[in-house]
Structure 1
């Protein structure tokens, strides 16, 4: 073929389910920027008109009708450009996930997704119907007829077609049948959720597809915390014939992140610019980038006025505090101080002006002080070490910090129950009761601060604790959001050391010298989490083998025994404790505050792992483990 050069553009968009005005504004911005760059084809993410996370609202016919009304507005902005935009289409009582192609203000057709994601966090077959390969139909909407199905399009003699997100992850992907038909460009609009190191897999998927099919491949993902739990990294990729041409900065704080690339189409295309991709991924950097953006979007989209945190001086609450500080630092770095304060929706004009006059570090601390309020709630069982840890960290990042004790409230509740029962409560007889009342009594005061400030209360439980129920309901699980419930404790501990050394959070030196402890028993008992449970590294290995890899308790035992994790009897005890506590505490996992999906799996029953509240508790399986 004769050489044809097309300016291609793809945009990551930070959308919100059913935020019609906000979503439309971002789409308009992307189209305007693309036109300024003389773009021929602009690719926007999957379901970007409605948002990907509408859940069961997709089953309501009115939603698709609203989306189509937005599409007709978007069409009028597409003079002199071709735009691919995602929306649901309700047809014959079925809903299809489609990418609509608009060319010069005319709707050319709708390509419908053919493979639906139905694993892990995905639930697409509940809402959508897969489209059969090769089939093209015609439908009528608002008096106009349109083509829908497995369509091949053309731009200046260049044939192009679609793979919509999951389509590209299947062995019999649409590209397999597109290429014999002369397709030279594949467009992939996606809503591919964030997980640690996933970008490496996605990069290889796109680049290797462009090499295998000797084509150009353009990919656009959603950006930010769209609907509450899933985070999208906003990845934009353009590749051709096995070479990466364009890639953007992931997890930015922009509403629209657009990348352009001029691509040559010919029998022997000229590829003038190649980007070197250098794995491996730094998962610590990934985690803090995703967590800080997720917190910012959750705060502003819920119209909350910052965060409140019960800062114990331990690892979990310290990570939550650092995440908010990083939210401010990374947000300012990404979009600038003024834009960050404007998007946060809680700084007055006077505060903006005053902060704008400060030196950079002082300004960052002032913003953290506005956005994060912490309180240390001590008891007679609390140590000076944890108080110092909490105080020094809060001061080092600029957070507003309070301290008080809760002993009077604890004594009051204990006295009431002792009076009702007619006996004293003792540590020998009432250990769990006396531990839990301390954690629960901390909740009302910190909730009061959150209510007074109209702020989000951060719950501090991690994934390891959630697995075995090592958390007090209505105590340390109390909160509006549980940002670290998807991260295991071993990862958190090494992350905090990294954050101290690499990010300069010197206030973490105190927590990094402490052994994790609930500090609920008398201090002479020297309580630690791992004494109560087992080494966190072992707990996490059991959890992953059991629920990510789906091995039976016996298989988990055999695999860990092969690794010489511990002596047989000790290992049997740990495995028995893990499965027993797991089964007993499903009801707690059902009640956790909303959590972010950050790893390749989690234990959230509302997003990744369902388990019955009532079960046999693995009794037979654990009996066989003990008999080995």
Structure 2
């Protein structure tokens, strides 16, 4: 039997600038950690303020309230006799740092600033914070007077130091530092740090967890150690969903893992670990040869033992054993991530529910099914978990008083009260099939559904235009021009947006008036849901300010290919066989008249397939390629299907449409970030919206095609390529 200790890490559903709610979650996590016998509790990055405060970090009020909150936490009766690792912003010598604060029994032992800031993708930490001065640099930090008044402590150390207890040594790193090529944990481990914490505000992205887990494993596989990973969970007020999954790892083996998607406010993960396992694991020559040359870190002494004496350990208590990591299928992630994000958004916005224009196509179908998953999660949290916060939020959203004893008997009971769908058709353009699919899906999910036609409003607007201009616009099939053809389609699309907001604002009032119990009224109006996928946005295949313009968009960061896979998965997982009909139906906007010879088709209109758009998106955003680089790359990927000249035509067509439609992306509805080629202009994909022609790149490609001669128009011989590769 070695030196056993129980350690705790956690996932917290924090909300940026919610100092009261965030403090409540922090104290509750400490309470749960102590109840499980933990001697150390680690929390997420910037947990006191919430991670997504953005420019609020530049305000002195934010820093003031942070210290006020910390002062109450460290003297709280439930926060004593346990070592605490708490995240907060700290101003030192008029510079603001993203920090960890190590506390024991009301005394601050160390403030450890972040040394590598996240400053790409969705993150702009360098706008608010400065990285710490360097490895092993430590200074005195003079504490605010409100802290000094508690126990008379005037100062502590700030910088890259570690905590030395009677029985072990602890170090901390923060989020991005784990992802750097030479992360701090390497040097800490070589200097004898046995327990390393990582506190993160790491967002969810499809298939991202695998990478995170491998990095966490790798942090201790080479040189041993105990690694505690904490993360935020939920929507904290912006476009990202933080997906929790707190973990504890010992010598590269995961012994504890929290949930990746959850509606709970607080989730504490604990494990009992043996410090001697680390020491034994590290006893190999190559590691020790590097360790003896490792410069030492300043050690801050803490008069505490995290483990019991070997003689006092209950022999029935054993170290927590390795577990198999839980991964969700990508299709499950699509259902769970946006669903959890939407519930947080809905309950925190204090609105009465959601409104969705349900067209009968794949995109709005996927959005509706995600809402269905949300109601399933809420139903589980209310009826099985008896979660008091979920019960309180559900009653309010569903228009029930807080004292109500009403409980849903199925997820559809929740949907009927807070989810509203409408099919907005045109007699000439809409098919009976899409209308029926929309109605059938609404019935299966339980939404409050309306079926209506917008013909009268459409014709009134066209008549008004004709009266004013004496010009009669026509569809191209009836002798109109491309301009009139597009204008008439856009009228329908934008009318649906106007109608959606009218219904969203007044349906709760209408239903209250018609209800038998009008006193159970829903507060506020409905949040309008958009349903434009990332591929169509990338191509610009949407009307500016049409029904894709909404309050939030659950699928705006998800590709059409992944959405179809998700619907097929939901067909079996949710026992909803009607979903297959959405996937098998050809994608159509239904903005042009349907005739015996013609039915509008999205891919034909776009001039590109959804699979091709996914490829363009990845090459443009992830691999950062312009026209020349994309053409060069696709020469290898598509040479067995297309000639070099055909590939050039496709690449040029894509960049042309991207350029002329780029302005649309500046008005995209906020959507949960889900893929690494997202097009969210307001935060993730920062590019200009006025584009010139890419003639320089095009001329370069054309010169290369000219040099190829006849080969420029020939599709490569696949078999010959294989022989050459072999």
TM-score range, shorter chain: over 0.9
1:342 partnered with 2:392: yes
Per the TM alignment, residue 93 of structure 1 is displaced from its structure 2 partner at its CA by: 2.2
Per the TM alignment, residue 164 of structure 1 is displaced from its structure 2 partner at its CA by: 0.6
TM-aligned CA distance change 1:367 to 1:120, over 3 Å: same
1:372 partnered with 2:446: no
Q: Which residue of 1 aligns with 2:545?
A: 474
Deviation digits for residues 366-425 of structure 1 (CA, Å, limit 9, x no counterpart) = 101112100000102000111011000000110110011001111111112222222211
TM-aligned CA distance change 1:28 to 1:476, over 3 Å: same
> Which of residues 661, 677, 680 in structure 2 aligns to 1:604?
680
Matches within 5 A, 1:482-521: 482-521=553-592
Per the TM alignment, residue 206 of structure 1 is displaced from its structure 2 partner at its CA by: 1.2
> Which of residues 426, 429, 442 in structure 2 aligns to 1:394?
442
The TM-score with structure 1 as length reference comes to 0.95
TM-aligned CA distance change 1:617 to 1:121, over 3 Å: farther
Instruction: Tell me, yes or no, if the aligned pair for 2:618 and 2:676 is still in contact at 8 Å.
Output: no
Per the TM alignment, residue 489 of structure 1 is displaced from its structure 2 partner at its CA by: 1.4
- The separation in 2 between residues aligned to 1:467 and 1:290, in whole angstroms, is 22
Per the TM alignment, residue 565 of structure 1 is displaced from its structure 2 partner at its CA by: 4.2
Per the TM alignment, residue 624 of structure 1 is displaced from its structure 2 partner at its CA by: 4.2
Deviation digits for residues 95-116 of structure 1 (CA, Å, limit 9, x no counterpart) = 1000101112211111110100
- The separation in 1 between residues aligned to 2:470 and 2:119, in whole angstroms, is 56
- The separation in 2 between residues aligned to 1:583 and 1:107, in whole angstroms, is 54
Instruction: Tell me, yes or no, if the aligned pair for 1:310 and 1:374 is still in contact at 8 Å.
Output: yes
Per the TM alignment, residue 342 of structure 1 is displaced from its structure 2 partner at its CA by: 1.9
Q: Which residue of 2 aligns with 1:97?
A: 98
Per the TM alignment, residue 141 of structure 1 is displaced from its structure 2 partner at its CA by: 2.9
The TM-score with structure 2 as length reference comes to 0.83
Matches within 5 A, 1:519-538: 519-524=590-595, 525-533=598-606, 534-538=608-612
Q: Name the larger-Rg structure.
A: 2
Q: Which residue of 1 aligns with 2:293?
A: none
TM-aligned CA distance change 1:626 to 1:503, over 3 Å: farther
Aligned-CA RMSD value: 1.9
Q: Secondary structure at the match of 1:515?
A: coil
TM-aligned CA distance change 1:262 to 1:351, over 3 Å: closer
TM-aligned CA distance change 1:96 to 1:336, over 3 Å: farther
Instruction: Tell me, yes or no, if the aligned pair for 2:11 and 2:246 is still in contact at 8 Å.
Output: yes
Q: Which residue of 2 aligns with 1:575?
A: 651
- The separation in 1 between residues aligned to 2:488 and 2:398, in whole angstroms, is 42
- The separation in 2 between residues aligned to 1:493 and 1:251, in whole angstroms, is 21
Per the TM alignment, residue 217 of structure 1 is displaced from its structure 2 partner at its CA by: 0.6
Q: Which residue of 1 aligns with 2:378?
A: 331
Per the TM alignment, residue 73 of structure 1 is displaced from its structure 2 partner at its CA by: 0.6
Q: Which residue of 2 aligns with 1:255?
A: 265
Q: Secondary structure at the match of 1:196?
A: coil
- The separation in 2 between residues aligned to 1:609 and 1:369, in whole angstroms, is 37
Q: Which residue of 1 aligns with 2:622?
A: 548
Q: Which residue of 1 aligns with 2:111?
A: 110
Q: Secondary structure at the match of 2:498?
A: helix
Q: Which residue of 2 aligns with 1:61?
A: 60
1:188 partnered with 2:239: no
- The separation in 1 between residues aligned to 2:573 and 2:644, in whole angstroms, is 39
> Which of residues 243, 246, 250 in structure 2 aligns to 1:236?
246
TM-aligned CA distance change 1:536 to 1:212, over 3 Å: same
Per the TM alignment, residue 140 of structure 1 is displaced from its structure 2 partner at its CA by: 1.5
TM-aligned CA distance change 1:500 to 1:625, over 3 Å: farther
Instruction: Tell me, yes or no, if the aligned pair for 1:61 and 1:90 is still in contact at 8 Å.
Output: no
- The separation in 2 between residues aligned to 1:298 and 1:625, in whole angstroms, is 47
> Which of residues 344, 349, 355 in structure 2 aligns to 1:302?
349
Per the TM alignment, residue 27 of structure 1 is displaced from its structure 2 partner at its CA by: 0.6
1:594 partnered with 2:670: yes
Q: Which residue of 1 aligns with 2:213?
A: 203
Matches within 5 A, 1:446-457: 446-452=500-506, 453=508, 454-457=525-528
1:268 partnered with 2:342: no
Matches within 5 A, 1:308-323: 308-323=355-370
- The separation in 2 between residues aligned to 1:420 and 1:178, in whole angstroms, is 76
Q: Which residue of 2 aligns with 1:440?
A: 494
Q: Which residue of 1 aligns with 2:285?
A: none
TM-aligned CA distance change 1:489 to 1:625, over 3 Å: farther
TM-aligned CA distance change 1:464 to 1:61, over 3 Å: same
TM-aligned CA distance change 1:130 to 1:248, over 3 Å: same
- The separation in 2 between residues aligned to 1:603 and 1:41, in whole angstroms, is 41
> Which of residues 148, 158, 165 in structure 2 aligns to 1:148?
158
1:178 partnered with 2:249: no
- The separation in 2 between residues aligned to 1:600 and 1:235, in whole angstroms, is 20
TM-aligned CA distance change 1:536 to 1:566, over 3 Å: farther
Q: Secondary structure at the match of 2:379?
A: helix
Q: Secondary structure at the match of 1:261?
A: strand
Instruction: Tell me, yes or no, if the aligned pair for 1:385 and 1:510 is still in contact at 8 Å.
Output: no
- The separation in 2 between residues aligned to 1:507 and 1:154, in whole angstroms, is 61
TM-aligned CA distance change 1:620 to 1:523, over 3 Å: farther
Per the TM alignment, residue 621 of structure 1 is displaced from its structure 2 partner at its CA by: 2.3
- The separation in 1 between residues aligned to 2:383 and 2:265, in whole angstroms, is 13
Of 589-598 and 151-160, more deviation after overlay is shown by 151-160
Per the TM alignment, residue 508 of structure 1 is displaced from its structure 2 partner at its CA by: 1.5
- The separation in 1 between residues aligned to 2:242 and 2:526, in whole angstroms, is 24
Q: Which residue of 1 aligns with 2:432?
A: 384
Of 370-379 and 504-513, more deviation after overlay is shown by 504-513
Instruction: Tell me, yes or no, if the aligned pair for 1:396 and 1:506 is still in contact at 8 Å.
Output: no
Q: Which residue of 2 aligns with 1:51?
A: 50
- The separation in 2 between residues aligned to 1:112 and 1:161, in whole angstroms, is 12
Deviation digits for residues 203-245 of structure 1 (CA, Å, limit 9, x no counterpart) = 1111121122211111000001112211111111101112111
Per the TM alignment, residue 142 of structure 1 is displaced from its structure 2 partner at its CA by: 2.1
Per the TM alignment, residue 347 of structure 1 is displaced from its structure 2 partner at its CA by: 3.0
Per the TM alignment, residue 355 of structure 1 is displaced from its structure 2 partner at its CA by: 5.2
- Structure 1: runs of 5 or more not aligned: none
- The separation in 2 between residues aligned to 1:123 and 1:370, in whole angstroms, is 39
Q: Which residue of 2 aligns with 1:413?
A: 461
Matches within 5 A, 1:29-48: 29-48=28-47
TM-aligned CA distance change 1:118 to 1:419, over 3 Å: same
Of 507-516 and 188-197, more deviation after overlay is shown by 507-516
- The separation in 2 between residues aligned to 1:514 and 1:405, in whole angstroms, is 21
Instruction: Tell me, yes or no, if the aligned pair for 2:99 and 2:112 is still in contact at 8 Å.
Output: yes
Deviation digits for residues 67-126 of structure 1 (CA, Å, limit 9, x no counterpart) = 011011110132111111100001222110001011122111111101001111111111
- The separation in 2 between residues aligned to 1:565 and 1:155, in whole angstroms, is 65
TM-aligned CA distance change 1:272 to 1:416, over 3 Å: closer
Instruction: Tell me, yes or no, if the aligned pair for 1:584 and 1:617 is still in contact at 8 Å.
Output: no
